[in-house]
Structure 1
């Protein structure tokens, strides 16, 4: 039988038929390969659709306006293949967070790896993540970030880690009034691999001009993150603060002094519990000269409107915003989630 097949293969018509059959088999295998690839893409698309369906479609954190795609920015910066680190929560950028910073929220999350926070996670939403990482994308060669009201160094570490991964030289500047929280910031920066010469952390109150302000003391760091300074305290208030020990008298650190050693601030993150509009109003010339991108946490709709008046059409481009989320049923405290505005300096980032 083998001999007959060999002889048959030497007959031209049969040889051509066999060659045609082999070609068809190859084409069939190639088509099957393409079909398998298409099947894999379909499965991935179906998984993404399922993920979208599981998200709270009515979440207010999807209600932002943007001149770029913040979700694409977040997905692009997400680090694949992250592994859990004992004792820490690891976020989607690879930033390590000690649960003691937020014990009421994170006490059971040590050893977890957190997914991409769309629409939001425990501390920020699409608009804020997107704006912060947008500033990283726009930086060239070096990334200097300044966070006013830095707490544990949240945006210092998040943007600093992302910028370092992008190959940029990084410098972190933070200002925080709470003694325990500035300690957390030092600890977090060290944990995430930033040397002392890569960071400048200050205990004080960020302001347009220097001076002094009162800042509330808390018994245990990490229990309260919305402490507000008292500006322009009277002599009587200062004496009472010293007597009771409920407040510390801290220096007001002028934005110009903080920025002076640096040629450019690639991202200025401002979250100072209602003082953001005053800071911007008193620093407009400095901001235009040195700050490439501003990310502001807004604490009222009135503040949002004032920032529009101060910045819109005056050399600044609003790239993303999500208004403060209100609860009209509670007139005493109508804002339940701070708003977000991301502004691009056209002079420095045309």
Structure 2
């Protein structure tokens, strides 16, 4: 059976982009996994999968690797290609800092200066992101990791605590009431975090070359609330989608606002009597023609 990761549509040659950005001879590092962009990854970010891969160097991930597929790698690298001499990106739901590390490394390899911002609700992943940025040679003035929840407006959110690492599907509770906050603290099952508006995150930057969004089902609400900021400042957006309904809603919102869809791979479904279940998230890459004509 052919991999679903071959089934994408794009306006550019995503595989050519990936091969062009691939580092010729990534160097292996003891205890770490190294990928095709010469980014070193601590197996602790996903121990069950990555521990046996420590010390290895991955090739170009076609059609996919343990984390992403042609569609996502290609779309994110497309944003690097469209950037000017400085590459600035924001990763929402950054986990261990996957995309800020990878796209930062790709942009740096082309001679671009970089500014990298990650927003993550899980404190353990935020710590791993700090370590990853240092491990991969980014200086303190090139990156910022925010332990909070990206949103359209300010407020307070609850984020589930996890014991270790490896759970990528945790969802926040937005606009938590004082009673919900009190109950969350008493239960010990949630962290109380600030909701950080996208306008605040982008305030010090004239242009964001790439906004990477992976926020576990909140894509439509976030894009709707932040569309004015995105129209004004974001050149390219890569969005992980979690249902076909969300995909259709994003088509309407972003196409209606004049964005150009350049990459699309639909979510992979499993059909059950109870209804369709998403087994693999979908992916969309959109170009803002105001900033990238």
Query: Under a length normalisation based on structure 1, what TM-score does the superposition of the two structures give?
Result: 0.82
| In structure 2, distance between residues paired with 1:260 and 1:333 | 40
Correspondence for 1:190 among 130, 134, 138: 134
Q: After superposition, what is the alpha-carbon deviation per residue over 1:199-245, rounded to whole angstroms, capped at 9, x for unaligned? A: 1110000001110010001112x231211101233444322211111
Match of 1:13 in 2: none
Q: Residues 332 and 190 of structure 1: is their aligned pair in 2 closer, same or farther, counting only changes over 3 Å? A: farther
Return structure 1 stretches of 4+ with deviation > 4 angstroms: none
| In structure 1, distance between residues paired with 2:28 and 2:186 | 47
Match of 2:101 in 1: 157
Correspondence for 2:241 among 268, 293, 298: 298
Q: Residues 345 and 60 of structure 1: is their aligned pair in 2 closer, same or farther, counting only changes over 3 Å? A: same
Cα displacement (A) at 1:332: 6.7
Correspondence for 1:170 among 107, 114, 121: 114
The within-5 A match list for 1:1-350 is: 58-220=2-164, 222-329=165-272, 331=274, 334-350=277-293
Q: After superposition, what is the alpha-carbon deviation per residue over 1:104-154, rounded to whole angstroms, capped at 9, x for unaligned? A: 110111110001100000010000000000000110100001000000000
- SS of the residue corresponding to residue 151 of structure 1 reads coil
**Highest RCO, 1 vs 2 (Cα 8 Å, sep ≥ 6):** 2
Greater share of helix residues, 1 or 2?
1
Q: Residues 217 and 315 of structure 1: is their aligned pair in 2 closer, same or farther, counting only changes over 3 Å? A: same
| In structure 1, distance between residues paired with 2:181 and 2:275 | 27
Match of 1:25 in 2: none
Cα displacement (A) at 1:307: 0.5
| In structure 2, distance between residues paired with 1:235 and 1:330 | 39
Match of 1:7 in 2: none
Q: After superposition, what is the alpha-carbon deviation per residue over 1:290-345, rounded to whole angstroms, capped at 9, x for unaligned? A: 00000000011111111011011422000000001111137477001110000000
Greater share of strand residues, 1 or 2?
2
| In structure 2, distance between residues paired with 1:271 and 1:104 | 22
**How many residue pairs are counted as aligned between the two chains?**
293
Query: Under a length normalisation based on structure 2, what TM-score does the superposition of the two structures give?
Result: 0.97
Q: After superposition, what is the alpha-carbon deviation per residue over 1:33-79, rounded to whole angstroms, capped at 9, x for unaligned? A: xxxxxxxxxxxxxxxxxxxxxxx6x1110000100010110011111
| In structure 2, distance between residues paired with 1:300 and 1:74 | 27
Q: Which has the larger radius of gyration?
A: 1
Unaligned runs of 5+ in 1: 1-55
- SS of the residue corresponding to residue 233 of structure 1 reads coil
| In structure 2, distance between residues paired with 1:157 and 1:194 | 9
Cα displacement (A) at 1:283: 1.1
| In structure 2, distance between residues paired with 1:129 and 1:79 | 14
